[in-house]
Structure 1
Amino acid sequence: MRRLVVTLTLAAALFGGAPAFAQQDQPDRSGDPIIYYDDGHAEMNAAIEAAQKSAPVFLRLLAADRTVAQTGAVKIGFPHKDGEEYMWLVALKRDGDKLTGRLDNRPEHDVGYAEGDIVAFDADQIVDWYYNRDGRMYGSYTTRVMLPRLAPADADQLRALLSDKPLEDGRP
């Protein structure tokens, strides 16, 4: 069974440095929490599906809203020999159908990229997205699934930042 490697780097940006998550499966080499999920994990797969379904909303906002452009990020999968490692891209740029972002994680596996590299990707590769507005984080579908696997205090900090619903209009 393949395993999904899901990194929670967005927390580091929100907390002003890598938080000390006590119950993650392991930290990556930069100290960011990594949580492993089997590829058949129903809740994580549902979160990815919901994020993909709402990605066009995020991409429209990215093009039209300065706050989203400045604080937005997407998570995409990077295949490797044992499965897929999902990591965040920040500093997003869109030129027509061309999308790029800077890799905000240090890969655990050989995925052909290093932290800080600029990665070109297609919209259909997005498995999650987020942006911050007025102290609230929108999107972050996979992060919401990860909360029970984090130390209670760290999960509470993230819950305080997450919007009640992933989309600003209140839809799930």
Structure 2
Amino acid sequence: MFKLAASLLLTLPLLAQAADARTFIKVQEKDPEMVAAIERARASLDEFLAINAKPPKEASDFRLKVMVQDENGTEHLWVTPFKSLGQDRFKGIISNQPRIVDSVEGGQEYEFSRAQISDWGYVKDGRQIGSYTVCALFKQMSKAEVKFYREKHGFECKD
């Protein structure tokens, strides 16, 4: 059984300002909070893609989190920038360095399907919009790490 993994260090490359802000958290495949976060992100993906297509001037850092699988397991990696290729296909640059899969690497252009998308996010007026899986990870992070992401990067996740 594959394990779902998420990397916060490089998962948020646009946000990570401190070189020592490196957190890698493994989450079981059926973790109820992570499953709910992914379902929430997927349910609102069309809305996000519409905003991305015509972004308001105060919005930036649009990104998708994509599930990548190979013989080593499963890892969810941020892709930014990205673009639609039509027919539920996308292409973008992998933003973080994988820690589990070795079929891709950070900085690589990667083509993927809508079915692989597990999250989305962007910044609007200094606040994080989306990034539901990051919020789910807060419950497994130290209070100091959560405080860092809330204060420095505008996360307003509900506890």
Tell me, yes or no, whether TM beats 0.5.
Answer: yes
Runs of at least 5 residues in structure 2 that lack an aligned partner in the other structure: none
TM-score normalized by structure 1? Answer: 0.78
Q: 1:122 to 1:86 in 2, by over 3 A?
A: same
Supply the RMSD in Å over aligned alpha carbons.
2.2
Shift of 1:67: 5.0
- Deviations 1:12-51 (Å, cap 9, x if unpaired)? 422424343xxxxxxxxxxx42211111111111111111
Check if 1:126 corresponds to 2:106: no
TM, length-normalised to structure 2: 0.84
- Give the secondary-structure state (helix, strand or coil) at the position aligned to 1:157: helix
1:147 aligns with 2:138: yes
Residue 43 of structure 1 aligns with which residue? 33
Residues 65-117 of structure 1, C-alpha deviations (whole Å, 9 max, x = no match): 15588411111111122431111001122343442111011112344211100
Q: Which amino acid counterpart does residue 18 of structure 1 have in structure 2?
A: A
Separation of aligned partners in 1, 2:57 and 2:136: 25
- What is the total number of aligned residue pairs between the two structures? 154
Structure 1 stretches (4+) deviating beyond 6 angstroms?
A: none
1-structure distance, mates of 2:104, 2:12: 21
Distance 1:11 1:49 in 2: 20
Deviations 1:123-142 (A, max 9, x none): 23210010001100000100
Question: What is the alpha-carbon distance in structure 1 between the residues aligned to residue 75 and residue 120 of structure 2?
Answer: 16
The aligned counterpart of 2:3 is 3
CA distance in 2, matches of 1:95, 1:163: 32
Quote the sequence identity (%): 29
- Give the secondary structure class of the aligned counterpart of 1:121: strand
Give matches, 1:3-152, under 5 Å: 3-8=3-8, 9-20=10-21, 32-65=22-55, 67=57, 70-97=60-87, 98-152=89-143
Gaps of 5+ in 1: 21-31, 166-172
- Structure (1 or 2) with the greater helix fraction: 1
In structure 2, distance between residues paired with 1:112 and 1:127: 18
